[in-house]
Amino acid sequence: MSRVLFLDIDGVILSGEELWASRNNRYLPPAKIALVNEVLSRTGAVVVVSSTWRAFDDCLGLLRAAGLTAIHRDWRTDREARTSGGIYLGEVRGHQIQRWLDAHPEVESYAIVDDDDDMLPSQMPRFVKTPFVTGIAQEHVDALVAALDTPLPLSV
């Protein structure tokens, strides 16, 4: 089964507290990476980066160096020029995720973890929102596992 976790970074792995406390906003806390890895190990899912970090040339290397265990070969949603300084121009993140899913019909289940809720209505049952200030916690892990353990409805 193909399972995908769409991952935001700021507000999920890198919480607001960590951003405010550190001048190095590319540091990815091991405890938060461990929580994401728990989701991956419990479900067999792989990560696709939906964060604005996907545009950084070193994003994939940073995630691997931080210890993220399972990353999809097509590891990020599109990098089309739809942003200006990290601000989406009239498009919600859910559209980017849907384009990725449309290009990967083999996906049988997915979940989204983000601190913003700019998802499509059809994605909301698979969406887990984290508080920007604290990021991912154990209760989010459990909710993501439940979403990933729920197969997508069969297409007609």
Tens of pLDDT along the chain (156 residues)? Answer: 699 999 999 999 998 887 777 665 667 899 999 999 999 999 999 999 999 889 888 899 999 999 999 999 999 998 654 555 555 555 789 999 999 999 999 999 999 999 999 999 999 999 999 999 999 999 999 999 999 999 998 764
| C-beta atoms surrounding 90 within 10 Å | 6
Helix ranges (H only) for the chain are 16-21, 30-43, 59-66, 93-103, 138-148
Number of helices (H), then strands (E), in the chain: 5, 7
**CATH of the domain spanning 2-148, picked from 3.30.70.260, 3.30.360.10, 3.40.50.300, 3.40.50.1000:** 3.40.50.1000
Sign of the C-alpha dihedral, residues 142, 32, 100, 118? Answer: positive
In DSSP terms, 88 is beta-bridged to: 83
Q: Quick one: pLDDT at residue 17?
A: 80
Q: What is residue 155's predicted lDDT score, i.e. its pLDDT?
A: 62
Read off the pTM: 0.90
Which pLDDT score is estimated for 82? 52
Tokens 């384009």 sit on residue: 99
Nearest residue to 77 (alpha-carbon basis) of 6, 145, 156, 10:
6
Cα–Cα distance measured from residue 81 to residue 95, given in angstroms and rounded to the nearest whole number: 14
| pLDDT, position 97 | 95
